[in-house]
Structure 1
């Protein structure tokens, strides 16, 4: 059964590594739902968080292929265990003076905030798991979403498990 998987990849912070990882996925016919890359806890290393869909065999193949890349140091299938994942979204929504209080009431339970107010729009910032972000977007759609920007998922394993170079 095809499901969503989150993979953490620790790589050398070198030009072209992101391109090689993305190319590998594309060449093998694997789609990337989201990818985030940033510095890790160790200087000179970056952490990639890749969300993709597939069955267990597909994910196993992806992880084996990652291990073959020269700048890949470690690979961890985060969604096979306990993890914390978050996403950030900025949502520009149409807002008249009459609808602003309604919108504020909608975003409050999501612990979202208004980060910009324009004459005919608001920019709402929300963080949380993808389902929470999706739910808020759905509730704001009737007001008119003018623009939407999402970061993609970032994640880390819970507890003592780490993806550090040892």
Structure 2
């Protein structure tokens, strides 16, 4: 089952690696891992999206909560949350299909960020379904390369 954990941690070396190692111990597959400073530069938020059975993910969560570097841990899968991901995609550009390709970008509100003679590079920010939808639409045109940022997320509301 897919689960998303959000951890506020002290911004110090080794915390991210320690969290990733723990997932491997319990046979949970990391689907996405994103980390960055919060409004306080001494604190980072780590979003860990993984696939694993509930027991394994619960054990991972208990272990992470026990770490001195972890300030707060939330299982967002059990809460209402907002998530976003950034993707950049380089697509083959056939002059005969340029207008069709541009229409796909427009429908998804993807921004062209680079052009070559044979390729166009676009970026899109959105939830996983929107990102996956754009990728699916671009496969027939020929995706040359792609980079996804990994999911970032926050709880909804005033919590």
Aligned partner of 2:37 in structure 1 is 39
Partners of 1:65 and 1:30 in 2: CA distance: 14
SS class of match (1:99): helix
* 2:158 equivalent in structure 1: 160
Flag as ranges the 4+ runs of structure 1 deviating above 6 A.
none
Aligned to 1:105: 103
Superposed CA deviations along residues 112-153 of structure 1, whole A, max 9, x for unmatched, are 111111100000111111111111111100110000100010
The alignment partner of 2:13 has SS state of: coil
Matched, 1:57 2:55: yes
Secondary structure of residue in 2 paired with 1:87: strand
Distance in 2 (CA, whole Å) between partners of 1:46 and 1:14 is 9
2:65 counterpart residue number: 67
Q: Give the whole-Å Cα distance in 2 for the aligned partners of 1:100 and 1:16.
A: 46
Contact 2:27 2:52 in 1 (8 A): no
Pick the aligned partner of 1:80 from 67, 78, 90: 78
1:117-128 correspondence runs (5 A): 117-128=115-126
**C-alpha distance in 2 between matches for 1:59 and 1:24:** 10
Do residues 150 (structure 1) and 148 (structure 2) align? yes
Unaligned stretches of 5+ in structure 2?
Answer: none
Normalised to the residue count of structure 2, the TM-score between the two structures is 0.95
TM-score for both structures, normalised by structure 1: 0.91
**Equivalent residues of 2:91, 2:121 under 8 A apart:** yes
Q: Give the whole-Å Cα distance in 1 for the aligned partners of 2:150 and 2:99.
A: 29
Deviation at 1:97, TM superposition (A): 2.2
Q: Please tell me the root mean square deviation across aligned C-alpha atoms, in Å.
A: 1.2
Residues in 2 aligned to 1:7 and 1:41: alpha-carbon distance in whole angstroms: 19
CA distance in 2, matches of 1:15, 1:143: 42
What's 2:21 paired with? 23
Tell me whether 50-59 or 121-130 shows the greater mean CA deviation: 50-59
Deviation at 1:23, TM superposition (A): 1.1
